[in-house]
Chains A and B, each alone.
Chain A
Amino acid sequence: GAVVSQHPSWVICKSGTSVKIECRSLDFQATTMFWYRQFPKQSLMLMATSNEGSKATYEQGVEKDKFLINHASLTLSTLTVTSAHPEDSSFYICRARQGAGNYGYTFGSGTRLTVV
C-alpha cells in the first residue's frame, strides 16, 4: 500500500533555531500534502494544505512565515518551523493524497518536536 515516510521521528532543538521536517511518498505521487499539528490528548489540527508546485494554503491562525511549507515535487514536501519557541513543541504529522478527488489518504509517522 501507499507509504509516506516522515523524518525525523523526533527532534529537540534550542529556542530560536529552525527545524525542517520531511515527508516523502515512497510509491505514489502525492499531488496534495496536508500538514497537521497535534497537542497531547487532542485531535489533529490542520495547519496547511499544499499542492505540488503551488504555494501552500494556510489555515486561519497559522503563521505562514513561521511554518514554511515546500512541495516542490510530487514525492517530497517539507515543513520548516522557523525561530522555534517552546510553544511550538508538538507532534507534527503529514498526510498525502494521491490525485484530486481521490479518497486515498496516507499519514506519515509523525515528528515529535521539543523546543527547549
Chain B
Amino acid sequence: GESVGLHLPTLSVQEGDNSIINCAYSNSASDYFIWYKQESGKGPQFIIDIRSNMDKRQGQRVTVLLNKTVKHLSLQIAATQPGDSAVYFCAENLRGGADGLTFGKGTHLIIQP
C-alpha cells in the first residue's frame, strides 16, 4: 500500500552540526506534510509543516524542503543541540482525506557531544 517511509532509522550528528532527516512518500495525492518530534515517553510535538504548493518553509532553526517531483521531504535542523535528540516522524495528509495523516517509520536523531 501507499505509505510514507524514512531512509535512515538512526542518524548520529555532532553537536553544533546541521542535521538532515529525509522522508519519501508515495502518494502523489498528498497535499500537506508535517514533521513531528517525539521525545522518549512523550507524545509527538509539531515542528513544522508545508503545503504541496510550496517547496520550502523555514522555522526557527528548522527548514522543510519538499520535492514533489521525486516525492521527497526533508527536515533540516541547524546547529543541532542536545535537546534535539528525539525520534522525528514525517506525516502526510491525503488531499480530501478525513484524517489524512499517514506517519513514516521515524528517524532517531542522536546528538554526540
Q: Indicate if the CB atoms of A112 and B46 lie closer than 8 Å.
A: no
Interface size on A, residues (CB 8 A): 20
- Using A43-B89, A44-B103 as known contacts, say yes or no to A93 and B46 having CB atoms under 8 A apart: no
B residues 37-52 in Cβ contact with A at 8 Å? 41-46, 49
Q: Indicate if the CB atoms of B99 and A44 lie closer than 8 Å.
A: no
Q: Indicate if the CB atoms of B41 and A112 lie closer than 8 Å.
A: yes
Of A41, A93, A103, A112, the contact of B44 (CB 8 Å cutoff): A93
B34 contacts the other chain (Cβ, under 8 Å)?
yes
Interface size on B, residues (CB 8 A): 19
Among A105, A107, A108, A109: residue with most chain B CB under 10 A = A105
CB distance from B35 to the nearest CB of A (A): 12
Q: How far apart are the CA atoms of A103 and B99 in the complex, in Å?
A: 10
A67 contacts the other chain (Cβ, under 8 Å)?
no
B residues 71-104 in Cβ contact with A at 8 Å? 89, 93, 98-99, 101, 103-104
CB distance from B48 to the nearest CB of A (A): 13
Residues of A within 8 A of B106 (CB): 41-43
The 6 closest A-B pairs by CB, nearest first: A107-B43, A110-B43, A109-B43, A43-B103, A44-B103, A107-B44
Q: Could you jot down 28 A-B contacts, CB within 8 Å?
A: A6-B43, A32-B99, A34-B99, A34-B101, A42-B106, A43-B89, A43-B103, A43-B104, A43-B106, A49-B98, A93-B43, A93-B44, A103-B32, A103-B49, A103-B93, A105-B34, A106-B46, A107-B36, A107-B43, A107-B45, A107-B46, A108-B43, A109-B42, A109-B43, A110-B41, A110-B42, A110-B43, A112-B41
Q: What residues make up the interface of B, taking CB atoms closer than 8 Å to A?
A: 32, 34, 36, 41-46, 49, 89, 93, 98-99, 101, 103-106
